[in-house]
Amino acid sequence: MPGFLDQLLQGVNSASRIVTSSYVFSTKTILLLKDLATGGSGSRNIPVRLREAFEELGATYIKLGQFIASAPSLFPEEIVTEMQKCLDSVRPLPFSDIQKVLKKELGRDYQKLFQSIDPAPMASASIAQVHSAVTKDGLDVVVKVQRPDIEGALGADLNLLFLASKLFEIFVPGLNKSGLSEMVGMFQSSILEEIDFIKEANNCEEFERYLLSSGETRARVPKIYRELSTKKVLVMEKFYGAPITDEVSLRKFSKDPSKTLSDALEIWFSTLSKSGFFHADVHAGNLMVLRDGTVGFIDFGIVGRISSKVWEGLMIFLEGLALNRTDRIASGLVRMDGTAKGVDEKKLAKDLETVFDQMSKMVLDIQMGELDAFDEKKMNTILFEFRDISDRNGLKIPKEFGLLIKQILYFDRYIKSFAPELDLIRDREKFIK
């Protein structure tokens, strides 16, 4: 009865994980009490002890720390600030642990599939570790390997977190309307997507199909080697180039940096407008200029899909942003919610004025060359305020809206670095072809 045995093992692992979590948190609590007993400031140490506990408990809690850091409207400022230290770069696993995963996923003779695998990782994150390799056919690839037992730990952690969020909403005054459990649910669905490398491979190839069907030659995605990939191992072509924000490399690999950036933006926008599919994590590490001058899109662990109504609403929203008109922004938000009925757009526009001023200032500062004006903390604060105002006015903003706005502002920041003559918000129609 393998099904029963699997369920029993999963139950044991979950119970063990809960015990481990309880032990770590109780240990940090004891340290806090010790701080207080010796005259220290326990309240000041709470964020530090909490962050230490998250890092000790690993992937789920590191990701949760990052989530808290990006949600300043939901959590106290001192905790948000401390959680900024929960970076996704963690201590590398010994290569022997990586080999165990490779043996389990690709077979005990997996080494016959490769000429070599560099035991030193290219990158080490909370969910996976990446190594350079050469296939048996002499192809340069990168091998993304999921950390051992991460799936079981995530399942137990996420169920515990969701239950805790529900209990907090019931027993803590003021949290019942905060949407905390909904946010934990979004966090849960997002992280579960990231640990399925088959989905990531599918996303990458979906983007590639669009490029091929449209005859697009200005951009590429890594080739996925399906015969070497599983849910926990992803083998793909190794790209040679540099992050698109590396000014020296950009000018080295591209004769016209402004055009390269414009091409990248046009490709991203056209994919979104024609297929509703978009790369939802175009930070500098995931957008490259390759040695031949083409644009390389990598890491499709986070993508988004939108309906035609959301697309239409986004265009109206950006028009309002460009023209400083809150009435158009309100119309755009209403358009995004296909179920909205009887919304008072004038009242919505009035309520949006303060948060609109914050976003307008951020966009203006970026366009004036102040590239530090855009950061995750400010952006998430604005997006949560948009959500709260929309909720109060009977609107439900799709979760993809926040992803879209972030990607657009990422691009706007890149443009102001290397192509200041372009104005993404004002000239958005130029990029939609």
Q: Which residues are catalytic?
A: 281
The 3-state secondary structure of the chain reads: CHHHHHHHHHHHHHHHHHHHHHHHHHHHHHHHHHHHHCCCCHHHHHHHHHHHHHHHHCHHHHHHHHHHHCCCCCCCHHHHHHHCCCCCECCCCCHHHHHHHHHHHHCCCHHHHEEEECCCCCEEECCEEEEEEEECCCCEEEEEEECCCHHHHHHHHHHHHHHHHHHHHHHCCCCCCCCHHHHHHHHHHHHHHHCCHHHHHHHHHHHHHHHHHCCCCCEECCCECHHHCCCCEEEEECCCEEECCCHHHHHHHCCCHHHHHHHHHHHHHHHHHHHCEEECCCCHHHEEEECCCCEEECCCCCEEECCHHHHHHHHHHHHHHHHCCHHHHHHHHHHHCCCCCCCCHHHHHHHHHHHHHHHHHHHHHHHCCCHHHCCHHHHHHHHHHHHHHHHHCCCCCCCHHHHHHHHHHHHHHHHHHHCCCCCCCCCHHHHCC
